[in-house]
Chains A and B, each alone.
Chain A
Amino acid sequence: MMRIELTVNGEKRSDEVEPRLLLVHYLREVLGLRAANIGCDTTSCGACTVLLDGKSVKSCTVLTVQAAGHDVVTAEGLAPDGELHPVQAAFRQNHGLQCGFCTPGMVMATVGLLSENPHPTEQQAREALEGNLCRCTGYHNIIRSVLAAAEAPEKGAQLTGVAENAEVSA
């Protein structure tokens, strides 16, 4: 077991974890944050996507110990005060989700995309989400949601999805 310290959704954590524990399992089983889902065994589907220091990563392919000292944000952490983050709001407004299984990953991948490329073209949005699979929507309304979120006036500072009180531990 190893002791790690990290920040998850703005909250400092200190936990003993097995070296082999995947970040997605840490989030789901240790912290009970179950928005991120496991949809495959091969890093193909992206249902587990979270932000690591503001960049979207597939948490099934990150060891928890690799996240030590870093800042993790999940879909739960995007809307700490209950009001939907602009990306979440855009997904609702554009019916960008159906069964919801890929949705937290899609949202986090979108937040990651928009922090790197605030105004993607449709093609850029499609390429950025290529690693996030969805069986329900045919991607049509997901892409609408991404493009709408990019135009949302209030996205500004919230876009990284990091809560304002977050402290990244060294």
Chain B
Amino acid sequence: MRVLRTKARRDMRRQRASFLAITVTIFLGVTLFGATYDAFRNLDDSYKRAFTQYRFANLTVTGGDVARFAAAARAQPGVEAVQTRTQTDVPIQVGADKFLGRVVGMPPGHQPAVNRLAIESGTYLQPARPDDVLVDRNMAKAFDLETGDRVAVTGAAGAQRVTLLGVASSPEYYWPARSRQEAFTAPKDFGVLYVPQPLAERLAGDARPNQVAIYYANGKENAGLTKRLSAAAERSGATDVFTRADQPSNSSLQQDVKSFEQLAILFPLLFLTAAALATGVLMRRLVTSQRPIVGMLRACGYSRGQIVRHFLSFGLLSGAAGGILGVALGLWLASVMTSAYTDQLSIPLSVIEIRPSTILVGIAFGLGTGALASAAPAAFAAGVPPAEAMRRFSPAKAGKISLAERLFPPLRRLPVRWRMAIRSIGRNPRRATSTVLGVVLALILILSSWGMIDAAQILIDRQYGQIERQDAQLYVRAPLGSAELARIRGVPGVRRAEPAAELPVSLRANGHRYQTALIALRRNTQMHGFYESGGGQIELPVAGLIVGQAVQGRLDLRAGQSVRIGAPGTGVEVSAPLDAVVNEPLGAFAYASLDAVRALAGPRLGEGNSVFVTYAPGVDRDRMRRALSAVPGVTAFVDSKALQEYMNSYLGLYYLFIGIMVLFGGAMAFALLYNSIQANLAERSVEVATLRAAGTPFATLARMITVENTIVAMLGIVPGLFLGYETAKLFLEQFQTDWFSFELEMRTSTFVLASLAILAVALLSELPGLRAVRRLDIAEVVRERAA
């Protein structure tokens, strides 16, 4: 059917703007699919390959009888390698900067059996150089460190300087997370040194390893083995057991992988649905306008099947074009995203593959969208009776009073032209519904991305404005003495300084255990705000504990319930009642008053090991960092506002993402609104020409069209805002972790701006239609109809 193909091609060319809009929407959907799905697959494969090559531990057990547990683990079938080591958090000084870092013991002379290092520069640890260490690449980058540089590490035996043998990366620290509760740290607040095991033991002040890393056969996860080993760890007195999935760095990175995976489903779904709606609108209009031709074709002997295939070909062509171009761009974007991502994290093995399955699925998405969307109009066309060839125009549908007028009778007193605009909306309910749905989809797309950033910003403002009120936290050698506190208070620029204690603890309740930090502050502290879910502020209790919602969830706690608090490595375990649960978006800590800690754990811990500081307004933060770090006894410094700034700058990356999503959402809404308006105007060309012939000014017609279009957009905006919010909420729920626990909150301005963006798109989309109305050849249209 060569000629029918020619007809299809030329029909498409004739309505190229409409078909282009559809093709672009399909293209965007398939591009997003290709980019996000392959980025997800690439990242997942990159991690898996790196994890296998560098033998990333499947299970890590801390504390207890390490030697006994390691021996038991080695005997377990399915265990390929076991590595014991010492890991301890110690103050590290690089130049004038002091922070609480981490040292991880490694066998000198050869790579460990588990958690191997990739040496980026320099050499691996050598037995002949017992005090030389490797620096993790994130720390090297933050402090601009190179092989040969020296840093100071303060261990159990005091401070000592070590030389850097090289820069390395480990699968445990691709993302530099201190713990599951502190997955996000400012670059200069955390760093890792890989040190010879004997040095790690000296720094920890314990000649025995305190951690066991276990690698399963071929690195494959094994739930049964994990269960058995976890039980064995429990028996050996381990204080913390985490799987590969829970490992702080990996669990953070998996959030990214998961978000790519979800985007690979949600975004293409939105775009392809919008494209399908736009295609449906366009095709139905095309078929309607071609009823006499379809009738002629049927009268001349074209079968229903041939008519169906003919009209399907429109959608298939758009789908194929959008699908093929989308797959090509998507794959390219996936490779760019994967490279950028793996380079940024220095994942040594970056897997970038072109997967035939992605190509096939992408093209199938394009074709499927086109075919599905044009199937109903094509079937409708096939149902056009040949007798339609005897008509010139399709019979007009019966007019009726609009629903709005029936519900709100005063509308009937509006000037006729406005009533006409209102009634026009219901004239083609299917098309109006498609357009409304398009606006809803666009808002879902916009709000589901914008909502995330809004939530993150509100969360950061709340966390660092209301909850964590300190400007800095200083770690000092415990116990904190009054002289040290006085020295800190005496530093110019310090407004307030409060003693505090931060203790690693293991909380137990209801058969669950959770490793976190207990932060002890003065009861009337000015450094931390405690807010319950309802928003009310509370004080630290005299005795019991306060925990964040994340901890409550993990331990299944109820207020008043007793919690067992263990201090790992000390053998101390006490009980305290849970006094209250606070709403803290970031972190999952336990809080108590210094008095309570003193009563529970003795005066030494109760004196504190940390100082929270606020600055006088307008001070130079870098100067304060240097001055406070230089105070004798201060071993580490955390600039709390630097973390806030770092998080804000990190969020800055997402503005581009949001910008793109707003643009894409706008494009999606434009495609549908544009096609609907074009179809509406084409259908009413005679009416419009008649109104023009009767002397209706163009401006009045433009206003009528704008009113109609705006009402349709508004009909979509209302449910769109609601569903967009709900989708964002659903999205956010997927990302709740130990570190992050937050219910979606969005700014009113976001709803307003998103609505305005859609209205702007609606206005923009009618411009070509208005231009056509202005150029309408009144005489020709009226004459044609008269003929």
- Please say whether chains A and B are actual partners in one complex: no
* Chain A interfacial positions (CB closer than 8 Å to B): none
